A and B are shown apart, each in its own frame.
Chain A
Amino acid sequence: MLQDLQAQFLGSTIGGLVAGSIYALIALGYTMVYGVLRLINFAHSEIFMIGTVTSLFVLITIAGGTAPITLGVFGMIAVLLLIIIASAAVSGGAAVLLEQVAYRPLRKKGATRLAALISAIGASLFLQELFGLEIIEWITDKSGRVQQNAPRFIPHEELFHIGNGVVRTDHVFVVVGAVIMMIGLDQLVSRTRIGRGIRATAQDPEAAVLMGVSIDKIVRLTFLLGGAMAGVAAALYVMEYENTDYRIGFLLGIKAFTAAVLGGIGNLRGALLGGIVLGLVENWSSIFFGSAWKDVTAFVVLVLVLMFRPTGILGESLQRARA
């Protein structure tokens, strides 16, 4: 056991950081929507799924199939940027549409958050089935019910070793991409006028309205930003794991939400921390218990953390100034 741990520790840590970066990016969407609306946007996982399908579509179009393609360094970065932009745009658009259709009517009626939750679950089912039945098949000419493979465009080359852990090209792309996006969002929320509007709404919607903030605009923007982040995560996911599935959102969505809660929902830096912690713990635990128990560990950690810190590691605070 101890030898396993020694032999695999660094490798798992790297895998954990990669998975954690993706969780963290998806978690940003949950945390922003929760901060502003106090609502678990259960359909956010489907926004992520839509992003992966968009990335898959772009990649298949470029590569003309699912066979690996070889590109130069600039080619790789260009293709990566292309799928990130496409997938962020489509996911962001889908998130805005989702808000318009599934949440806005309820908000206008002053419905409970429980009703909104059911609406979210309904929307989630609808999107999942829509993609499983129609859209994926239309894009790939394969049944939408099976796992879809994406072409490899970034070679999984070993770059360097840290101890006995191997860092590959794709790992670097995922972590660097995720970190850039998260810093960008953090700066946007803490420094710009738009960010101030979001924070004000999160803190006190009524006072925000009196101060001239347009709630509808802010909510739409929150969904757009959160959706775009899920889109970026989706592009990175497709690049790293090279597959997708119409039900992929479920587990990743739950993990990301767990990450958001773990770090303190409503807190952007908390989402980052929660994502990384979750990814690391999961990967370390699979050394001990085998990868089949990975998901169980994730939830047990969640319960344990919430028992001692009921508002997550960093606490709730989209509104509190700079986080």
Chain B
Amino acid sequence: MKGNEEVAEKSPENGKPTRAGFHPVDGMRDWWARAPHWQRYGVYIALIIGALILPAPAIGSFMSPESDWTTVLIFPVGVYILLAIGLNIVVGHAGMLDLGFVAFFAIGAYTLAVMGTLHGWGFWGTLVLGIFLAAMSGVILGAPTLRLRGDYLAIVTLGFGEIVRITATNTDAIGGARGITNIPHPEPMFGTEFLLDPAPYYYLILAAIVIAIIFSVRLHKSRVGRAWAAIREDEDAAELMGVPTFKFKLLAFAIGAMLGGMAGVVYASKAVFIEPNNFPFILSATILAAVVLGGAGNLPGVMLGAFLVAWLPERFRFLSEYRILIFGGVLVLMMALRPEGLLPSRQRKAELHEGTGGMGAMGAEVAGPDSEASAEVTK
């Protein structure tokens, strides 16, 4: 969230003369790739301090003059970032299109709501259960459907999201359309009570985000991450080279779902009240938009995208009714101007210029003098 802006601002200061054709983002990346350990850890520490002091009222008065800044930082900002990190694993790393991601978020939230209100479970136990259930539902959805590619998978996942929402609406045992109230707060820890004050929740979600980032980065750099990249590039080739594609796709799906479920549990603990309408399709679409807008596959980009998508509508609340209209227009405009996202991953950007990037170019594009990509016409 805040982190990306800070890093972006640092780039001119790191001693490099700004020369013609110097690209601030790429330049920063070059520096980062060569930076010695102490510089990297310096940036990490600066980011953590930045994140810790972020709820300060001085920042809040500018960032969110119309609603409580710390609350905004939890929902939507924190939750969106957590969800985007999860969805990025599915869409950005493994190249699968998931339009029903909100289902896992809902499963996490409902786990806490049901276990907390009916069975008196505490937050931490439910967090583990919620993550487990979300992962399980990811496997249950994924196992039969991951044979499907691209758009077929998209529509099946969309259907799954709707199935979960409608089921929650029609099942009276979990509150039906009225939802569930009195969801328990987390137990006090480190001498902090989780009650009405939003600050502890902010640090809770911050901790969750940090864990998710570490998890996501480690995975991306591991053998698993390379397998995902191979699947994203060319599934058939990956299979022929001995990558068990189905296994890794299912793994990506389950891990994405786990992070979604984690976001759900954390969200529900703050929300106190949830209802099926909290989990509409449009939330899936918004998170996907955040991932693509930021630059699918690149974690800082994805987090920047999620931050912007969550924060801008809050910041411009005075436009009240027109927020969503403008949001829609901005999405169209942004995609026309920067189809690869704000901070694209270098690898994916290169793929896009080759025209062979994961999702494939639009069918009827034919390479012409004014187009950068040669078309991928067969599928």
Contact = CB atoms under 8 A, between A and B. Distances in A.
Most buried by B among A39, A116, A306: A306
A9 B332 CA distance: 46
Given A34-B151, A40-B151, A215 B364 contact: yes
Contacts of B45: none
Contacts, number: 202
A117 B296 CA distance: 13
Interface in A266-314: 292-293, 295-296, 298-300, 302-303, 306-307, 310-311
A201 interface: yes
B335 A118 contact: yes
A48 interface: no
A118 B329 CA distance: 11
A133 B152 contact: no
B359 interface: yes
- Is chain B's binding surface mostly helix, strand, loop or mixed? helix
A105 B331 CA distance: 13
A299 B163 contact: yes
A261 B155 contact: yes
Nearest to A304: B144
Contact of A129 (B151, B322, B367, B375): B322
Contacts of A115: 292, 335, 339-340
A125 to B, nearest CB: 3
Contacts of A310: 147-148, 152
Interface string B342-379: 00000000001001011111111111001111110111
B152 A261 contact: yes
B173 interface: no
B364 A107 contact: yes
B122 to A, nearest CB: 32
A125 B360 contact: no
Contact of B365 (A107, A258, A295, A296): A107
A121 interface: yes
B167 interface: yes
B156 to A, nearest CB: 6
Interface bin, chain B: 35 or more
Contacts of A125: 282, 324-325, 327-328, 331
Contacts of A38: 151, 360, 362-363, 379
B145 interface: yes
Contacts of B145: 303, 306-307
Contacts of B332: 101-102, 119, 122-123, 126
Given A122-B330, A125-B328, A133-B325, A110 B373 contact: yes
A111 B167 contact: no
Contact of A114 (B328, B359, B363, B366): B359
A21 B100 CA distance: 27
A193 interface: no
Interface string A121-140: 11111111110010000000
A204 interface: yes
Contacts of B366: 205-206, 209, 215
Contact of A109 (B156, B329, B330, B371): B371
Contacts of B152: 261, 265, 306, 310-311
Most buried by B among A129, A250, A298, A300: A129
Interface string B149-190: 011101110111011001101100000000000000000000
Given A125-B324, A125-B328, A129-B324, A113 B360 contact: yes
B325 A306 contact: no
B336 A119 contact: yes
Given A40-B154, A126-B332, A296-B167, A303 B289 contact: no
Most buried by B among A117, A218, A295: A117
Contacts of A34: 151
B71 to A, nearest CB: 24
A311 B170 CA distance: 31
A323 interface: no
A37 interface: yes
Given A117-B288, A118-B288, 8 more contacts: A37-B362, A111-B339, A126-B325, A126-B332, A127-B328, A205-B364, A307-B144, A307-B145
Interface of B: 91, 97, 144-145, 147-148, 150-152, 154-156, 158-160, 162-163, 166-167, 169-170, 281-282, 285, 288-289, 292-293, 296, 321-322, 324-325, 327-332, 335-336, 339-340, 352, 355, 357-367, 370-375, 377-379
9 contacts: A101-B332, A112-B360, A119-B335, A122-B329, A125-B328, A215-B366, A254-B162, A265-B151, A292-B169
